[in-house]
C-alpha cells in the first residue's frame, strides 16, 4: 500500500515507521522526516500514529532514546581507549537531513504556531508575571537521597555524578554566557571544555571556576570541611570568607577548607603539602591521597562504588557510612569515636564493613530497625 493512503494503524504496522518514532534507525528517521515534509496533509494521521505508538511502547520518545544511547557510547569510549577503536564520527546519532522544502514547512508551521500560541497565552503570561517574581536565579536540578548515587548530564554535555544525599541546582541562564550551579553535598564533575562560558560551582564556603576539566567537590553542610580535588585540567577556587583570595589548583592537588564554625583544619600525616603555598588557618592545599591498598585515589573512589578510608576517625567514617548505606549510627562510647581506620570496601554490606573494622580495633555494635530505617549502635 502506498504510505499516502495509510491510516494510523497502517503506519504502526510499518516497522520502518516504528523505528522512526523510536529513533533507533538512521535510515528510517531520514526517510520518514523527508516523507512527512513532502506530505504535510498527512500530519494529523502521523501524529495519531505516533501517539498510539508512544502509548503502546511504554512512553519512550526518540529524545530519551538518544540520551540513553549517548550514555552508552560514552561508556564505550571510556572503556575502549585502545588505538584503532571507533572514531567519534562513526558513532554519530542518526541525523536528520534537512531539505530546503522541509525547512520552509518548518518555518511556516513554527510561525503559525507561535502566532496562535501568543494569542492564547498572553492573558496567562500576564497573570503569572504580576505577582512578585521568584528571586532565586536557580532552577531545581537534581538531588540524590542517602545511600544513592546519581549520574546525569547537563545541557552542555558536562557529566555529573552525585554522591549520596546531595543536591545540585542549575542557574536559569545556564549555558547562555556562563554555566553556574549550586552544590550541596558531594559530586564529581567532568566539565565540557568551553572557554567562552566558564563553569562556576557555588558551595556554601567556596566557589569553583572551571574551563574544562575533571574534579571532585565535597561540600556537605554538616561536615567540618569543604574539599575540592582536581584530577586534570586546572580550576580556580575562591574562598568565600576570605574575599579576594583566589587559589589555582593544579592536577593532583586538593584544597581543604574549614567550614565557618570549626577552629582548626585537620591535617593527615600521609598528605604532602607543597612548600610554596601559604598556610593560613582557614584552608590548606595538599596532594591527593592514594590508597595504600590498591593505589586508587581515595577522594574519588566513591565514583567507582568503592568505599575507601585512609586513616580516618571512626566518627568521620560513621558519617560516610550513614550516607553510603542510608543507615543511622550512634556512638554509645565516646572513646571509640577516635579510633582510626584504613581500609577499602568493594560492594560490601554495612554488616560486612563493621565486621571487618572489628578485626582491627575492639568494639561492639548492635543493629536494629525502626520505621524501615536501620539503626546501628556502637559501643
Partner 1 sequence: MLNDASHKEIWAMLTNGCQDALLALYDKYYLGLMNYGLRLTGDRDFTNDCISQILLRLWDKRGNLPEVENPRSYLLTCLRNELFTERKAQHFRLVSAINFNQTITTSEPSYEEYLIQLQSNKTLREKLALTLQNLTVREKELLRLKFFENMDYTEIAIQCGITKRTAYNIIHSALKTLKAGMINSQNIWMAYDIAMITVILVFISQ
Q: Give the range of 15-23, 180-188, 210-218, 355-363 binding partner 1 by CB under 8 A.
A: 15-23
Query: Which residue's CB is nearer to partner 1, number 2 or number 120?
Result: 120
Give first-to-last CA distance, the chain, whole Å: 78
Distance CA 314, CA 320 (A): 10
Name residue 365's beta-bridge partners: 378
- Binder of partner 1 out of 3, 147, 198, 251 (CB under 8 A): 147
Smallest distance from partner 1 to CB 15, Å: 6
For every residue of 217-278, DSSP letters joined together read EEE-TTSSEEEEEEEES-EEEEETTSTT-EEEE-TTEEEEEE-TT-S-----TTS---TTS-
Query: Which residue's CB is nearer to partner 1, number 15 or number 274?
Result: 15
Distance CA 305, CA 230 (A): 19
Q: Could you give the C-alpha distances from 317 to 14, 275, 290, in angstroms and in order? A: 58, 29, 17
Query: Which residue's CB is nearer to partner 1, number 115 or number 269?
Result: 115
Q: Give the range of 65-73, 195-203, 242-250, 271-279 binding partner 1 by CB under 8 A.
A: 65-73
Instruction: Please state the separation of Cα 148 from the chain's center in Å.
Output: 12
Give the total of residues touching partner 1 (CB under 8 A). 59
**351 touching partner 1, by CB under 8 A:** yes
The DSSP output letter for 173 is: T
- Binder of partner 1 out of 4, 38, 43, 51 (CB under 8 A): 51
Q: Give the range of 198-206, 292-300, 312-320, 342-350 binding partner 1 by CB under 8 A.
A: 342-350
The DSSP output letter for 293 is: T
Distance CA 161, CA 216 (A): 9
Residue numbers 230-289 binding partner 1 by CB under 8 A: none
* Maximum CA extent, the chain: 82
**377 touching partner 1, by CB under 8 A:** no
Angle at 37 (CA atoms; ends 32, 43), nearest 5 degrees:
85
Q: Give the range of 165-173, 268-276, 280-288, 320-328 binding partner 1 by CB under 8 A.
A: 320-328
The residue behind cell 575507601 is 308
Residue numbers 75-114 binding partner 1 by CB under 8 A: 75-76, 79-80, 85-86, 90-91
| 3-state secondary structure at position 368 | strand
- Which residues are at the interface with partner 1 (CB under 8 A)? 7-9, 12-13, 15, 18-19, 22, 24-28, 48, 51-53, 55-60, 64-65, 68-69, 71-73, 75-76, 79-80, 85-86, 90-91, 116, 119-120, 147-152, 305, 324-326, 347, 349-351, 367, 369, 374
Amino acid at each position: 500500500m502506498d504510505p499516502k493512503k495509510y491510516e494510523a494503524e497502517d503506519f504502526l504496522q510499518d516497522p520502518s515507521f516504528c523505528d522512526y518514532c523510536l529513533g533507533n534507525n538512521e535510515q528510517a528517521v531520514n526517510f520518514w522526516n523527508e516523507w512527512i515534509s513532502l506530505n504535510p496533509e498527512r500530519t494529523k494521521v502521523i501524529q495519531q500514529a505516533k501517539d498510539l505508538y508512544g502509548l503502546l511502547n511504554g512512553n519512550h520518545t526518540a529524545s530519551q532514546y538518544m540520551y540513553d544511547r549517548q550514555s552508552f557510547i560514552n561508556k564505550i569510549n571510556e572503556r575502549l581507549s585502545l588505538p584503532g577503536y571507533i572514531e567519534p564520527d562513526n558513532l554519530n546519532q542518526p541525523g536528520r537531513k534537512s531539505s530546503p522544502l522541509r525547512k520552509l514547512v518548518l518555518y511556516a508551521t513554527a510561525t503559525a504556531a507561535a502566532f496562535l500560541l501568543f494569542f492564547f497565552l498572553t492573558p496567562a503570561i500576564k497573570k503569572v508575571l504580576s505577582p512578585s517574581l521568584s528571586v532565586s536565579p536557580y532552577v531545581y536540578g537534581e538531588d540524590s537521597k542517602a545511600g544513592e548515587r546519581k549520574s546525569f548530564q547537563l545541557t552542555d554535555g558536562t557529566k555529573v555524578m552525585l554522591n549520596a544525599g546531595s543536591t545540585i541546582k542549575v542557574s536559569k541562564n545556564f549555558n547562555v554566557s556562563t554555566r553556574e550551579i549550586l552544590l550541596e553535598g558531594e559530586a564529581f564533575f567532568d566539565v565540557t571544555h568551553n572557554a567562552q562560558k566558564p563553569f562556576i560551582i557555588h558551595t556554601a564556603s567556596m566557589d569553583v571556576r572551571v574551563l574544562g576539566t575533571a574534579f571532585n567537590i565535597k561540600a556537605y553542610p554538616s561536615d567540618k570541611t569543604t574539599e575540592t580535588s582536581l584530577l586534570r585540567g586546572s580550576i580556580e577556587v575562591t574562598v568565600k570568607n576570605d574575599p579576594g583570595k583566589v587559589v589555582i589548583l593544579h592536577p593532583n592537588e586538593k584544597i581543604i577548607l574549614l567550614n565557618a564554625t570549626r577552629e582548626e583544619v585537620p591535617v593527615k600525616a600521609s598528605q604532602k603539602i607543597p612548600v610554596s603555598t601559604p598556610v593560613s588557618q582557614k584552608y590548606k592545599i595538599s596532594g591527593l591521597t592514594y590508597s595504600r591498598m590498591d593505589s586508587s585515589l581515595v577522594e574519588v573512589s566513591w565514583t567507582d562504588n568503592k568505599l575507601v578510608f585512609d586513616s580516618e576517625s571512626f566518627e568521620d567514617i560513621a558519617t560516610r557510612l550513614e550516607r553510603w548505606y542510608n543507615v543511622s549510627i550512634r556512638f554509645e562510647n565516646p572513646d571509640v569515636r577516635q579510633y582510626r581506620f584504613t581500609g577499602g570496601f568493594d560492594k560490601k554490606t554495612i554488616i560486612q564493613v563493621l565486621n571487618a573494622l572489628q578485626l582491627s580495633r575492639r568494639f561492639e555494635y548492635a543493629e536494629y530497625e525502626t520505621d524501615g530505617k536501620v539503626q546501628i549502635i556502637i559501643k
